Structure 1
Amino acid sequence: MAVATLSSKFQFGIPKSVREELGLQAGQKFTVISKGGVIGLVPLRSLVELTGMMRGARIDGFR
């Protein structure tokens, strides 16, 4: 398990093993989600990266 420490400036670094596993880049933006005392970081993806992601998904039965 990778561990990060929050600095006095409320910053932290993402451990190298996690950066490499997820292919994260310097300057990349994240959505920060807080729920039930847990913080989640979700990398923002460009529309180009998302193209074709939902190909074949069923759209019937939704409001």
Structure 2
Amino acid sequence: MATATISPKFQIVIPKEVREKLHLVPSQRMQVVEKGGVITLVPEVPLTSLRGALKGMSASDLREKRDRM
């Protein structure tokens, strides 16, 4: 498990093995989520990278908003 230390300026360096595994790049934006005392960093991905993620999904099974109530 990799560890990080908070600097006096409240900055954290993401360990090299994690950056390489997740293909993080300088200036990449991260979402910071806190829940129950746990901080999670979630890399933002461009919407274009999600193209084709739902390929083959049937549009006929979608419900209208009024049907969900």
Secondary structure, aligned partner of 2:8: coil
List gaps (5 residues or longer) in structure 2.
none
* Residue 5 (1) aligns with residue 9 (2): no
Q: CA RMSD in A?
A: 1.8
Q: Percent identity?
A: 49
Amino acid of the structure 1 residue aligned with 2:35: K
* TM-score, reference length from structure 1: 0.86
Higher-Rg member (1/2): 2
CA distance in 2, matches of 1:38, 1:61: 35
The runs of at least 4 consecutive aligned structure 1 residues that moved more than 3 Å come to 56-59
Aligned length: 63
Shift of 1:54: 2.4
1:40 aligned residue:
40
List gaps (5 residues or longer) in structure 1.
none
* TM-score, reference length from structure 2: 0.79
